[in-house]
Structure 1
Amino acid sequence: MVAPIDMVGKRFGNLVVLQLADERRDNKRCWVCLCDCGNEKVIIGKNLRNGQVKGCGCLAGRPASFGSFHHGLSRSPTHTSWRGMIDRCTNPKHGYYEYYGARGITVCDRWRNYENFLADMGERPDGTTLDRVDNDGNYEPGNCRWATWDEQGANKRKPKDRRAA
C-alpha cells in the first residue's frame, strides 16, 4: 500500500487537516479536518486536494452577507486567540508549534469547537491574551485564563525547562 500524502497542517479553504482518519470512504483515505467555525469533519483527501470540499458545510445555503463563519465572530479578539491556540497545537508549520504541539500540548476535545471555548472562557477582555496556568498543561477548562502581558510574562517556564523542550 502506498503511504498517504502527509496533509497534516495544510489548509484547504476553511479547513485545516488535523490527522489521518481511521476510516476510509469508497476505499479512499480520509482526513480529520478542523473548520474555521470550530467543527471537525472527516473528508476524503482527494476532495480536499481538488478543491471540491472547502468547509464543513457551515456556509452552505447562506448568503454572502452572512460573512465567512456561521457564528459571525471570526474577526473577534476571542476567536483570534482560539484560532491561534488551535494552530499552535495542531499545525506543524506554525511558527510556534515546536513550543506547543511538538511538546505534547493539546487542546481538549470540547475546545475544538469555538462555541464551547467561548462558553467556557467568555469574551477576551481588552489587554489580555490566552494563558495556561500550568505551562506544561493542556488548553482546557481549569488550566486557562485571560491574562495581561505582565501576568503572562511572570508565568513562563524556567530557562532550564526551555532548553529541555
Structure 2
Amino acid sequence: MDKKNDKYPRFPYPNGRRYNLTGFKFGMLTAREVDEIRSKGRPYWICDCDCGNTTTVDSRDLLLEKTKSCGCNRYLSQTGSAGSSWSGTGELSGSFISHIIKNAKKRNIKYSITKEYLWELFLEQDRKCALTGVDISIAGYGKKDCNRTGSLDRIDSSKGYIEGNVWWVHKDINFMKNEFSLVKFKNWCKMVVEYRKEF
C-alpha cells in the first residue's frame, strides 16, 4: 500500500499488523468490523452501504478503491435515480428479474407477478429471509452477483410464481428447500436438529 494509507491506524492481526478501517468511508461503503469468518490472510471487512445493504469486502479492494458500493451504484446514477437503461425497480435489477422469469419458463412453472410486487414484498419482509429472519440483499447488477443473498421462493412448490405464493429467502435456504413442500422441509430440519443435538 502507498503512503496515502498511513492515515489509517493499525491493529495486531495473525499475519502481522493490518489497517484498522473501522468507521472509515470508501465511496458508498462504511467499514464496520472485520469479518473473522472470511478473513484468511488479508482481512475482509463487513461494510454498510449507503443504500441500506451490507456487504463483505477485501481490505485491499477498499484501500485501492476497487470496491465502492455493495453493487448498487453499478446501475444507479449518482443522484440515486435509475439510468436510462434501467429496467428494474428499487434495488431489484432487470437482469435478475429476467433470470427468475426465464428459469420459471424453463421448468414450465407459471409466473404472473410484477417486479413492483416483488420489491414491495421485499420491503414488507424488512429485507429479511422469511424462514430464518437473517438479513438478505437483492441488490446487484448481474444474475449471479456475488453480493446478492436473497432468492425468490415459492411457498407451495405445487403452485406457480403467483401473488401470495412467493417470499424472499436466503439463497442457501432456497437451495436446501429445493422442491420440498414447506411442511416437508420443516420436518426434515426438525429431525436433523433433534437427532444431532451436539451440533
TM-score normalised by the shorter chain: which range applies? 0.3 to 0.5
Return the structure number with greater relative CO, CA threshold 8 A, min gap 6: 1
Rg larger in structure: 2
Q: What's the TM-score once normalised by structure 1's chain length?
A: 0.39
TM-score (norm 2): 0.34
